Amino acid sequence: MCHVIHRRPMGVRGVDGVIEVIMQSATQWVEALRSMGETGSALYALIFLLATVAFVPASPLTAIAGFLYGPVGGTLLVSPVGMASATIAFVMGRTFLRPFVLRRLATRPRQAAIDRALARDGFRIVLLLRLASIVPFAPLSYALGASRISARNFLLASWLGLLPGTFLYVYLGSLVSSVSDILSGEATAGSATHVLTGVGSAAAVLALLSIAHCARKAANQSIEKELKHE
């Protein structure tokens, strides 16, 4: 009887080995944090803060918080720390990116109209963008920092818009039995995620329509002002 042996390509086996090592290391770190009690919670909050400011995706980190501390504890940890991360990115965007943006807006009327729209109707636009999650967490915070939106509207709209997704990912993380399920994406493959995706898609459409409407209104007002000066 002849047995056929299927060999996986060397490159594939190498990648799988690296992924397995990363998952094992992550599992060990998470278990170590769990055993440290309140110190572990503070350390995880610091890790979450630094990682999200550095563009690490927030969703798996949020789910891991649920795995460690449960739906309520995870939400109470992630929500304020996520807002602290968003605030840091917003301030950095306003400090370092805004001057560059201003130079570009001087020669781009359409983009300048969008900038004015964010100043006028920023709360609604940011709320919809956060609900939609069409732009990743950190890049959106940096980009909004470079716009004319007020810090107050940014913070309030971000907090309200992030809460539903935060609770969902924390809850899903609390249901898994291993961190590897989160890192592999299995924890976020359920029907609840599909519902959030549908809601996010609707919010994305509303956000784009709001931006287009406000930008068009701002552009028309600018044209009217120029005509009055002539």
Q: Distances in Å between the alpha carbon of 52 and those of 22, 78, 140?
A: 19, 11, 12
pLDDT for the residue 177: 82
- Residue 63's nearest CA partner among 169, 221, 148 is 169
pLDDT for the residue 113: 72
146: tokens are 């470079």
Length of the chain: 230
d(CA 104, CA 196): 36
pLDDT for the residue 230: 46
d(CA 154, CA 125): 10
For 202, residues 6+ apart whose C-beta sits below 8 A from its C-beta are none
d(CA 99, CA 122): 20
User: What residue type is assigned to position 56 of the chain?
Assistant: V
pLDDT for the residue 208: 61
pLDDT for the residue 205: 61
pLDDT tens by residue, the chain, 230 residues: 555 545 555 454 555 555 667 667 778 888 888 889 899 999 999 999 999 999 999 989 999 999 999 999 999 999 999 999 999 999 999 998 888 887 777 677 767 777 777 888 888 888 888 877 777 889 989 989 988 899 999 999 999 989 888 988 898 888 888 887 787 766 555 555 555 555 555 655 666 666 555 555 654 554 455 345 44
| Element (DSSP H or E) covering residue 197 | helix 191-229
d(CA 14, CA 168): 34
d(CA 52, CA 40): 18
